[in-house]
Chain A
């Protein structure tokens, strides 16, 4: 039924035209499939849940240059004042802000693996000969208000009690911690699915044992590019520094009102300091993901341009073929071909070319993906992207060729009689 063989023969009379279009379609498929894959990867990254009520949170930095105060005391006064502002749900001084791009990381271990140089008795470290597990962890330090300010849920265990908080230069070691669920699954893979049982386990840092007393469902750390972003820990410690920051949770609709007041209230409490511009978590998120956002936007533009150019190429080729074959079309019409036959002829011709282009394009997509994988830290292209792009190019081809084909069908059969 399909007149593939005559169409193919006619196409072969102008091989270079067909070949150019095939190359163009193949390249388009290869680029679009890979670009779409990169876009999707980035969108997945950007849409990860930080575990926080981001719209309710903002932070600001305080830099005290005055030397006439006790910083410990001042931090407490600041906190009390901030928590009393109408609209504020809770506030805390904290060492790092989630998804802000800069913060503290430390390696925690599942046992104290420091070899005891002075003792030859191996039984002291008899537990196991395998090296201790090292887990890169984002470290938050704050007081009992940390959980409530972050707005994260405990799935097991309890919050810090007031007497567990270590202030300023108090030297006793930290003995308890709250960790994220992802921390438990990384540190103790055997507890996967039973993370609640992580409560009571010991972890080590600087040879100090720390007991896990609580587990939160989800809490990301500050560096969004890090592969360890989900592994976090909260330590009950307030460090005394002249440069510290506050995280504040308000009702979402009150946020701006509170932000507007904060600097004046802080300076009224103690003037010899600088309050840095408050930043909302939404702002920090946008900032942290700015590169990914730009990449997705630029790649989307690239895809649109490619589809546009390829559609133009198909239209151009079809128009050229129609014009070149005006007489033949007229003759076919005069010999009884219907308008539908003519349209079908061009559609099938284009469909053949598109298919050849797609076959070549699949090979090119895989090659390009392999090249990108070798050169850059990109994951392997998922086949579904090639499929989706194939379908898009099919549809694009059909749409692009339809109008020139319809125009061809309008050619009058009389044209056949005129010039012969």
Chain B
């Protein structure tokens, strides 16, 4: 865990952490701040006395890239790097353009480390309460409320309990956690590919029963979901939002809703299910 941090910084953070570490913010010339889950709530506080320097941040990025920036260039352009243990590190710095395309990010100034948690069995209640057959499920919450953990477990449970072929489209290596997380004995994983490509390619070539993907948001995703639906493949996906009205109002998400009807829309809050709707947006519980 956090092996990409300078040793003294890592030791200090781990020494001062009391609960389950969920997020770190490393900013130039500031002490490192952590968010940790402790006694049922999230606590945010400084966990180092020493301020992080520009050199510290550069060293972290270099280590995340396995000392080879070119090997993670595409990720850097997209503003993140995923560590070998599945921690997603968001990068902030100066964005360089080549024409209209982002060429790279340089002069890194801050990093946001999101530490994934794998809670095996967290979706079991949902499965036994609603369905034992795969349905099209959309899991919704603001960032950092357990969407990825939930859909990972849902896919895993379907795969293990019911022998369903689950295909995980792991765009950012968060679902697999760099290979650290078990995804079920009947699961396949496509890593680092965008969802639109992954869904189309998966449906054509891998014959999945259900596709699991994180954070659907674009019209390209919508087209791919439609394609999967027409092919009879179920989708388990997640989306950012805090309530139903916002989902409907969000331009890109409303496009998805127009062409793809989920069977169940499930809202998470503080890492637990807060409400469940059916495909026609009737509240079930």
Q: Is this pair of chains taken from one and the same complex?
A: no
Chain A interfacial positions (CB closer than 8 Å to B): none
Listed in ascending order, the chain B residues whose CB lies under 8 Å from chain A are none
